[in-house]
């Protein structure tokens, strides 16, 4: 008989002999020899668990939990407890969260946690930890129970003392990430010095667990002191690695936490050197609106550092050249942040952005929103002498004048007027602007320009990330 035929036969037997199977198992567990009890429990786990309905398996749970009440003083007791724990794991694996919660309420978690430091057998310990992992991975109720009875301290203690058992370490890290989804556990995790273990959990275990660990890093990283603590322990490269190995959902979670941890004065430059700029550039070039928001906010922070600004500008120039109009609009916003930071190096000038921006203004096919963002950026660059010279040299004065006279968008016209006024006030370009436009039109934006300068807009905008940077609650 092939495997599918055998499975069908077992399923039919389970459906027709439910009561008989349950009675037989109870009799064996009450009156059978140790060997018979172990054999029956393993058979229940390996053969019948996947076919029996939940209400039948629910009747088996108290019998299995009863096997765990005492310490394993003999080999036969240990063998029975191994079988019982393995069976509980199989029940949870093949059924739904309801049975996991029922096992949690049965006292099984307390017994398993008590047995872990008692048993000397590495295989038994591994099975106990794996069963706890399956339970806490399915829902909050089991996590709450394990946390309430000291599960976190036990897990951290084992992680500290573990030497070479790779699988055991992986299971423990996965339990840690599951427990840390609870607010009370996160507080205890910080007090217990578990941040380094949490960071390791982003690179070990299932992807679901690694994403949980990344989420928790973001949740804990809201206070500035915690961002610094995570950065010192290597969270930034760990999150970047997770970003590059996961799917889009994973990338969003990892990038969201990375942006938050990077938003600290001591982390901005190291984040750039570790490759954070490439991470956010990938998101900005993608189609996920949420990813673009995360990237734009992160760039607003990272651009404070000059080398980061140079790297960001290079990416944005590529997007201006190759992206669609929506992408170009976002890229122009990012470049705006770079312009206002007044770096010593001529970042915009060296990036090659100016010719592309002016060409986009000449292209009447560019969508209105992108056109407005590009025009606003060009006009903002006119505040700085070195950028103003480059803009004028490439022939932008008559272009801006034409926009004022003929563009359909009032917002675009106002941006062009702002740039022309900056050029008009420069003695080098006063006459050229006067020849290109009726200068009386510039009075419309004189008050705006004066207000910008009076309020020290550059300083205000360079620190706006403190208020603007947001933690995205949809990812937690």
Average pLDDT, the chain: 87
Mean pLDDT of 290-299: 94
Mean pLDDT of 303-326: 94
Mean pLDDT of 59-87: 92
Q: What pLDDT, on a 0 to 100 scale, did the predictor assign at position 345?
A: 78
Q: What pLDDT, on a 0 to 100 scale, did the predictor assign at position 448?
A: 63
Residue 103's pLDDT band (cuts 50, 70, 90): very high
- Domains contained in the chain, CATH given: 352-476 (1.25.10.10)
Mean pLDDT of 346-350: 90
| Cβ count within 10 A of residue 395 | 10
Residue 221's pLDDT band (cuts 50, 70, 90): very high
Residue 2's pLDDT band (cuts 50, 70, 90): low
SS (H, E, C) the chain: CCHHHHHHHHHHHHHHCHHHHHHHHHHHHHHCCHHHHHHHHHHHHHHHCCCCCHHHHHHHHHHHHHCCCCCCCCHHHHHHHHHHHHHHHHHHHHCCHHHHHHHHHCCHHHHHHHHCCCCCCHHHHHHHHHHHHHHHHHCHHHHHHHHHCCHHHHHHHHHHHCCCCHHHHHHHHHHHHHHCCCHHHHHHHHHCCCHHHHHHCCCCCCHHHHHHHHHHHHHHCCCHHHHHHHHHCCHHHHHHHHHHHCCHHHHHHHHHHHHHHHCCCCCHHHHHHHCHHHHHHHHHHCCCHHHHHHHHHHHHHHCCCHHHHHHHHHHHHHHHHHCCHHHHHHHHHHHHHHHHCCCCCCHHHHHCHHHHHHHHHHCCCCCHHHHHHHHHHHHHHCCCHHHHHHHHHCCHHHHHHHHHHHCCCHHHHHHHHHHHHHHHCCCCCHHHHHHHCCHHHHHHHHHHHHHHHHCCHHHHHHCCHHHHCCCCHHHC
Q: 64-78, 387-401, 452-466: which range is least confident on average? A: 452-466
Residue 454's pLDDT band (cuts 50, 70, 90): low
Q: What pLDDT, on a 0 to 100 scale, did the predictor assign at position 449?
A: 65
Q: What pLDDT, on a 0 to 100 scale, did the predictor assign at position 236?
A: 97
Tens digit of each residue's pLDDT (9 = 90 or more) over 152-171: 999 999 999 987 889 999 99
Residue 63 in this model has a pLDDT that exceeds 80: yes
Q: What pLDDT, on a 0 to 100 scale, did the predictor assign at position 465?
A: 38
Residue 109's pLDDT band (cuts 50, 70, 90): very high
Q: What pLDDT, on a 0 to 100 scale, did the predictor assign at position 297?
A: 93
Distance between CA atoms of residues 56 and 47, nearest Å: 14
Tens digit of each residue's pLDDT (9 = 90 or more) over 415-452: 999 899 999 999 999 999 999 998 888 876 776 666 65
Q: What pLDDT, on a 0 to 100 scale, did the predictor assign at position 473?
A: 36
**Percentage of the chain lying above the pLDDT 70 cut:** 89
The segment with the largest mean pLDDT, out of 213-217, 337-341, 459-463, is 213-217
Model pTM?
A: 0.85
Beta carbons within 8 Å of 211's beta carbon, 6+ residues apart: 242, 246, 249, 250, 253, 254
Contact call for residues 284 and 313 (beta carbons, < 8 A): no
Q: 47-51, 147-151, 308-312: which range is least confident on average? A: 47-51
Residue 374 in this model has a pLDDT that exceeds 50: yes
Contact call for residues 347 and 313 (beta carbons, < 8 A): yes
């Amino acid at each position: 008989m092939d495997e599918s035929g055998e499975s069908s036969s077992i399923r039919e037997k389970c459906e027709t002999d439910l009561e008989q199977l349950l009675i037989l198992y109870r009799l064996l567990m009450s009156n059978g020899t140790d060997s018979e009890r172990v054999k029956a429990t393993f058979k229940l786990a390996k053969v019948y668990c996947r076919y029996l309905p939940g209400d039948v398996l629910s009747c088996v749970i108290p019998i299995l939990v009863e096997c765990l009440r005492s310490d394993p003083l003999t080999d036969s007791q240990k063998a029975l407890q191994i079988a019982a724990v393995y069976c509980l794991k199989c029940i949870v694996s093949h059924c739904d969260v309801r049975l996991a919660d029922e096992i949690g309420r049965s006292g099984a978690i307390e017994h398993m946690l008590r047995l872990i430091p008692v048993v000397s057998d590495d295989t038994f310990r591994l099975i106990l930890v794996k069963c706890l992992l399956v339970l806490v991975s399915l829902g909050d109720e089991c996590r709450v129970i394990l946390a309430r009875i000291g599960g976190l301290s036990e897990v951290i203690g084992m992680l500290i003392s573990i030497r070479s058992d790779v699988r055991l370490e992986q299971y423990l890290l996965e339990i840690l990430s599951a427990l840390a989804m609870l607010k009370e556990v996160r507080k205890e995790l910080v007090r217990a010095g578990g941040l380094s273990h949490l960071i390791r959990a982003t690179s070990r275990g299932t992807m679901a667990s690694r994403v949980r660990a990344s989420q928790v890093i973001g949740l804990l990283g809201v206070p500035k002191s915690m961002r610094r603590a995570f950065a010192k322990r290597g969270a930034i490269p760990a999150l970047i690695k997770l970003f590059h190995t996961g799917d889009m959902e994973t990338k969003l979670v990892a990038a969201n936490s990375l942006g938050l941890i990077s938003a600290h004065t001591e982390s901005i430059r190291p984040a750039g050197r570790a490759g954070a700029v490439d991470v956010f550039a990938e998101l900005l070039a993608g189609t996920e609106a949420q990813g673009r928001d995360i990237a734009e906010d992160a760039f607003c922070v990272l651009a404070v550092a000059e080398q980061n600004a140079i790297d960001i500008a290079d990416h944005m120039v590529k997007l201006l050249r190759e992206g669609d109009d929506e992408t170009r609009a976002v890229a122009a916003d990012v470049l705006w942040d770079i312009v206002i930071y007044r770096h010593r190096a001529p970042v915009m000038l060296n990036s090659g952005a100016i010719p592309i921006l002016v060409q986009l203004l000449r292209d009447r096919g560019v969508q209105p929103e992108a056109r407005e963002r590009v025009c606003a950026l060009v006009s903002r660059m006119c505040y700085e002498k070195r950028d103003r010279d480059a803009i004028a040299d490439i022939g932008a004065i008559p272009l801006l004048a034409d926009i004022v006279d003929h563009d359909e968008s009032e917002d675009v016209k106002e941006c062009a007027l702002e740039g022309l006024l900056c050029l008009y006030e420069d003695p080098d370009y006063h006459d050229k602007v006067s020849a290109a436009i009726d200068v009386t039109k510039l009075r419309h934006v004189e008050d705006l320009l004066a207000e910008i300068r009076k309020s020290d807009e550059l300083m205000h905008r360079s620190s706006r990330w403190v208020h603007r940077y947001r933690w995205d609650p949809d990812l937690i």
